[in-house]
Structure 1
């Protein structure tokens, strides 16, 4: 590099441009210097720089030409690698599938052979349709079968079992068929034995009962395998125990809320112990008792109140005589006086007139009134009175409800007084002694019954009672806040009380929770033989499944996959599979915590590498007008898309008679029913209220007597509720009563949201679900009919007009309805 501070070099003239003499002199001087080996510094520097510049330019030109040629050739032999990988750590994803990626080994030859055998052994009317064959031959780990009413799903499921066992060699103890009710299980076992017998398969009734199960009978042995619980009893089966060794055959109806004496004894004992041990619980129960026993106010402006208010003065004049008569009736029944209630005749002013009470309850600082027990004759009168005692009592009750601002306990019947007396005497083993009505429920029930119903609903949604209650809110002064605080204390105490029994006791809800997704580690404690039967599951009526059951199923399937091939070592049945059959239009148990959402979103509920969906739209039961009328009633509900049933098989040839909708007339109903019965048809009478059964029976004495004389298998009349008729059928169906959602449940709306059910942003998701269920219940009832369906409905009251009613969806302009109301 040149030095910028150095002096600049002089400019020299080339020798050829010098004059002759100077050129000769320069040549001689140059030779002399060369001879002397001396250097002329300025000439050297200047020459070197110039030569370097010329040499660099020449070298660059030659070097480029040669280097370009050689570099191009070398570049063809050299791979330039650039690293473009991300610098973040590589983390594997999670496989959340519940099943391995496998297929059922169904070859074309095997399918052909099985079809030929079915054609040979089953009658022509029982041959599967194309859609049913798709169900039978599904080879994916998970299968969802949408089967409408009368779709012939039971025979298809039996053939599926036959295929797995007889043709693929799957062991029976690797499979389970799940049904929901006692009747459906019984029917399926009978059909299973019949079909397997046609293939000369020696399936005993015991083996069939082991194969066809309820969820409850599968969970019980799981819990009994845990340390210290080998003799565990289910709370739901207390009082109806089977002999030793047959406990697993116990069939608990998941939709039956009735409690027997053995169960009540445990509930009452727990209540007694908790009342003594927990002051806060005792305080809550005392306040709930006061709230429950007090006479509920009514609006003074109500038309019925206004009508009775006009006779206030007359009622006051006869009130003391009325009190005497009421007390005489109570005394004669041995129900008065009541221990803990001080008899007195204090006066209360109502609209300027004086009325009398019967006593005072010091503990609650409230007056006590005695009612007219419904067991007494409704025609009973005071001497010389124009009204019955019952009517006089009803007037007084209404006046007190509308115009009395003092705490008042009205004992409606003798039994209520006895329960109150027992509670006041400290006999807590007899129970709390009063009834309570949770907002949204249709009627008041004994407090512990209300506790059990609420806790069961919460647990069916997959929630823990205490956690759910802690997240619930109520308006200031709402007694339901006290109820649920007491419920949380009682639910925890009951669990401990039941486990402390000998042998220990546990509710089915608690059993499922022990092996649900929140306690999945417990499944790792189970021996292989308890998990194997769940490897290949076929579940019927899946639309009625609860969130709690879904959680248990998912946890069990995940554990089966986690154990891998070791679980199936030495067996033909490998991996796991799930086939669920249902109809979201027939989901009618939402009031117990069931939801069709899991069936409607099946692929999200049970993640699988591959999935099959089957639509069974052929209806082999009902004529087309019955099908169309039923589907019209549910067309506004959220449903699986693509459902439209068609009458098939023998049903396709039936006469198309419209569904008749009429005003309620018990006499006319009985006459029409008798006409169908006399023609030799099967008849089904469905009612919404149990009380209607007794009322209509008065007009069906002849038919009922004729039925009683027949063997059970030859009877042609069934009287059932709308709910209990599901799965059954009759030539002629008579529906008595509308399907109506009559209330709103604040607490169920809250826990529904906590469970993640309902539409996003819906403040009342349970109410919305129940409005849809009203329509689905009518669909279930109508589709029980083969040929004829009659629907008798009451005319709605003024208040009922605003409530959802299924009959309001009837369209008389449609050919499948004949609306005769108002005629």
Structure 2
């Protein structure tokens, strides 16, 4: 719409006509005349001043007004947002009056000698619904958690049925039950055995409580509890890879069923069996192998005479030949030398070499030889292991040969049973168990075994590749076999997954009465839970919050409290993760959050604390507090290190046993403990006979010593890492249970765990700690050991070796 000209008031007629004419002319051409604009502006300005001095009546001219109906709001598609908090209320109803009353009662009921410190009171009375307490060993984290449980029940009026105290292992659970029952009794609350077992649980026990409330799963048995649950054991042995006889029987049946059901799995196992029973290619850096293989190189010229001498001994004993093997002397070219074999085994595509005859004296020397026959055989074996590219089965005994032949002959119908040979194993393991343990570890890390293995990449000619291919094929069939049992069996990780990551769906089926025990969760040793446990706790709390706020359950309180110390992560190589402790605020979000640090150790004297802390220096952790002992003025001597001998142990033991001290003996690794077992058994039997009602001596694996303490601690042996594996590093890189950018995360976790385990063992001691180390064997000389840090900090240890 064109704009109408508004007449200028009071202008001379001539000037107005001229001005209007110029305006119309310029409008027609879209022009602009600067000089006319300036003159017009000046005239208007001057005239305006005159009008102001002598105002004349104004003529109002109406203009057309257009109203536009437009929606200026954002036209993006609407998106529904979800509340990401586990806990809505930010604070518990803790008043100053309530605090004053509780502290006065604690003084009266616990006595002056057992009062919490100021920093412990701060943790106990944390007013937020989400709170975590982190403290070094001996700072009373578990005590703080238990006192908070008393406060929540007796003063905040939270019913015991709406609380769960979680302990990581069965041993820790029953320790907490004993102490918590005693603590509640001080406040006049008598916990029955049934009540205490309902209140304090392991994560497995808490899961079972949920499962039993869902009819389709009510009778399901976790595989890890097969053979235990019928005896009332709902906890089993977390982080203990040993299987019961019942579990081994079920596992072997699953292995045989998978072999029969799947031809591809059967082919993988057959190839794996052939490779496993053959002589493995050994590392070229093994000093013993190098020495013997060089001897073999120098003696190989007389190999035909050697093989005939060995064959004669086997033949005269009636152990050779056998029908299944083509007993023809066959020459192989190896590095330009001729090596003779005793025959060929077509079924496995392997050459057979007979080793030193069983029953023959080791100093037997064949005619014309400069060394004994035993040494010649060792040299030949080392030469083949180092240089031969063919598949060769080296046979050391008739029983071994018969076992291989029988297994191979039955492979058409029966899966072969043999010991797996996979890098990183800390003990010989049957093939079925090894397949299970591999899959179980991956599952514990929160991943699918079959998919994770399928995503791995192996170096060409890596002997582990064939095993992992078999493991990937086995796992789905293993789970299917468990479900076909009566009653149904599922792995504990699969059950956790059902109510953890998938909890928002499946927990809907759980009655509120069964779920309400997870409204207020107090967790000890949070650094040692698995991904599945962490997600299960979160899922239960989220479902509880939904029912309280959406379904309108009145008067319910929710909270989460945890205690832990990431310096004491003891099961990282078995799938535990400290991320729920380190990132507690992220994983357990609430409108209110509190972090409390405890730095004073009430168990150990300062020298022991200093020794233990020197081992974990440099390992990242939440707490940066310098460890301090509350035991002022006492003996502050550090840990003393000796050679592991019976004489040394007995001398030190007698000294402390005679003084009436209680003693804890910790085994650092199975090999060193086997060396120590004879004299350890002597002192254990002595204690049994002399102190039947009040034992002074306890023996434990160091890995399961958390929560224990004693006046004097003996650590027998070193904490030794398993050999590094390319596969495990890839698996842990995908799992990201620990925030490590290193390309070998399993190696880093394992190395740090050695130092942590030594730290845990040492801090069990109140007064004295002795670390007895055996002489290094060839097998462990190249492996990571915790003792390498003994000399790292000046004065941290007294080394008497």
Same fold (TM over 0.5): yes
CA positional deviation for 1:158: 2.2
Name the structure 1 match of 2:165.
Answer: 177
Name the structure 2 match of 1:691.
Answer: 671
- How many Å separate the matches in 2 of 1:561 and 1:194? 32
SS at 2:268 equivalent? helix
Name the structure 2 match of 1:228.
Answer: 216
Residue 488 (structure 2) aligned to one of 477, 501, 504: 504
For residues 227-306 of structure 1, what are the structure 2 equivalents within 5 Å? 227-242=215-230, 246=232, 249-298=233-282, 302-306=290-294
- How many Å separate the matches in 2 of 1:476 and 1:299? 16
- How many Å separate the matches in 1 of 2:595 and 2:398? 59
**C-alpha spacing 1:466/1:697, structure 2 compared with 1 (3 Å):** closer
CA positional deviation for 1:453: 1.4
**C-alpha spacing 1:380/1:804, structure 2 compared with 1 (3 Å):** closer
- How many Å separate the matches in 1 of 2:235 and 2:590? 31
**C-alpha spacing 1:126/1:65, structure 2 compared with 1 (3 Å):** farther
SS at 1:242 equivalent? helix
Name the structure 2 match of 1:217.
Answer: 205
Name the structure 2 match of 1:669.
Answer: 649
- How many Å separate the matches in 1 of 2:654 and 2:48? 123
Task: Determine if the alignment matches structure 1 residue 344 to structure 2 residue 327.
Answer: yes
- How many Å separate the matches in 2 of 1:228 and 1:55? 94
Are the equivalent residues in 2 in contact too, given 1:670–1:696 (CA < 8 A)?
no
**C-alpha spacing 1:423/1:812, structure 2 compared with 1 (3 Å):** closer
Are the equivalent residues in 1 in contact too, given 2:300–2:339 (CA < 8 A)?
no
Are the equivalent residues in 2 in contact too, given 1:623–1:655 (CA < 8 A)?
yes
**C-alpha spacing 1:566/1:268, structure 2 compared with 1 (3 Å):** same
Are the equivalent residues in 1 in contact too, given 2:138–2:603 (CA < 8 A)?
yes
**C-alpha spacing 1:428/1:208, structure 2 compared with 1 (3 Å):** farther
Question: TM-score, normalised to structure 2's length?
Answer: 0.83
Kindly provide the CA deviation profile for residues 403-460 of structure 1, in whole angstroms up to 9, marking residues without a partner as x. 5443212356777667645533437997531222333334552222121111111111
- How many Å separate the matches in 2 of 1:90 and 1:797? 69
For residues 344-743 of structure 1, what are the structure 2 equivalents within 5 Å? 344=327, 346=329, 348=331, 357=342, 360-369=344-353, 382=364, 394-411=378-395, 420=404, 423-426=407-410, 432-518=416-502, 520-565=504-549, 569=553, 574-648=556-630, 651-700=631-680, 702-710=682-690, 714-743=694-723
- How many Å separate the matches in 1 of 2:227 and 2:413? 18
Task: Determine if the alignment matches structure 1 residue 769 to structure 2 residue 753.
Answer: no
Equivalent residue pairs, number: 746
Name the structure 1 match of 2:196.
Answer: 208
Are the equivalent residues in 1 in contact too, given 2:728–2:746 (CA < 8 A)?
yes
Are the equivalent residues in 1 in contact too, given 2:425–2:722 (CA < 8 A)?
no
SS at 2:216 equivalent? coil
Residue 124 (structure 2) aligned to one of 100, 111, 136: 136
Are the equivalent residues in 2 in contact too, given 1:142–1:578 (CA < 8 A)?
yes
Name the structure 1 match of 2:732.
Answer: 752
CA positional deviation for 1:94: 3.8
**C-alpha spacing 1:567/1:420, structure 2 compared with 1 (3 Å):** farther
SS at 2:590 equivalent? coil
- How many Å separate the matches in 1 of 2:181 and 2:565? 26
- How many Å separate the matches in 1 of 2:360 and 2:697? 33
**C-alpha spacing 1:495/1:106, structure 2 compared with 1 (3 Å):** same
Residue 152 (structure 2) aligned to one of 159, 164, 167: 164
Q: Which moved more, 1:634-643 or 1:153-162?
A: 153-162
CA positional deviation for 1:512: 0.7
Structure 2 portions without partners, runs of 5+: 6-12, 15-42, 61-69
Name the structure 2 match of 1:45.
Answer: none
**C-alpha spacing 1:475/1:113, structure 2 compared with 1 (3 Å):** same
Kindly provide the CA deviation profile for residues 568-609 of structure 1, in whole angstroms up to 9, marking residues without a partner as x. 836x5x242111111111102111111223312221222222
SS at 1:709 equivalent? helix
CA positional deviation for 1:309: 4.9
Kindly provide the CA deviation profile for residues 63-109 of structure 1, in whole angstroms up to 9, marking residues without a partner as x. 898699999xxxxxxxxxx9997665675654211111232212222
Q: Which moved more, 1:760-769 or 1:582-591?
A: 760-769
Kindly provide the CA deviation profile for residues 125-178 of structure 1, in whole angstroms up to 9, marking residues without a partner as x. 321111221222122111111122112233322222211122222111111111
Question: TM-score, normalised to structure 1's length?
Answer: 0.81
Q: Which moved more, 1:556-565 or 1:798-807?
A: 798-807
Residue 107 (structure 2) aligned to one of 116, 119, 133: 119
- How many Å separate the matches in 1 of 2:59 and 2:149? 77
Structure 1 portions without partners, runs of 5+: 3-9, 12-53, 72-81
Are the equivalent residues in 2 in contact too, given 1:320–1:355 (CA < 8 A)?
no
Are the equivalent residues in 2 in contact too, given 1:582–1:599 (CA < 8 A)?
yes
- How many Å separate the matches in 2 of 1:137 and 1:61? 82
- How many Å separate the matches in 2 of 1:448 and 1:345? 34
Kindly name which structure, 1 or 2, has the bigger radius of gyration based on alpha carbons.
1
Name the structure 2 match of 1:148.
Answer: 136
Are the equivalent residues in 1 in contact too, given 2:547–2:553 (CA < 8 A)?
no
**C-alpha spacing 1:239/1:156, structure 2 compared with 1 (3 Å):** same
SS at 1:256 equivalent? coil
SS at 1:342 equivalent? coil
**C-alpha spacing 1:479/1:700, structure 2 compared with 1 (3 Å):** closer
Q: Which moved more, 1:167-176 or 1:399-408?
A: 399-408
Name the structure 2 match of 1:5.
Answer: none
Name the structure 2 match of 1:786.
Answer: 766
Are the equivalent residues in 2 in contact too, given 1:685–1:733 (CA < 8 A)?
yes
Name the structure 2 match of 1:199.
Answer: 187
- How many Å separate the matches in 2 of 1:721 and 1:338? 48
**C-alpha spacing 1:347/1:270, structure 2 compared with 1 (3 Å):** same
CA positional deviation for 1:540: 0.8
Kindly provide the CA deviation profile for residues 435-489 of structure 1, in whole angstroms up to 9, marking residues without a partner as x. 2233333455222212111111111111112221232222233343332332222
CA positional deviation for 1:567: 6.9
Q: Which moved more, 1:803-812 or 1:590-599?
A: 803-812
Kindly provide the CA deviation profile for residues 736-776 of structure 1, in whole angstroms up to 9, marking residues without a partner as x. 33334352222222222222344464322222222221221
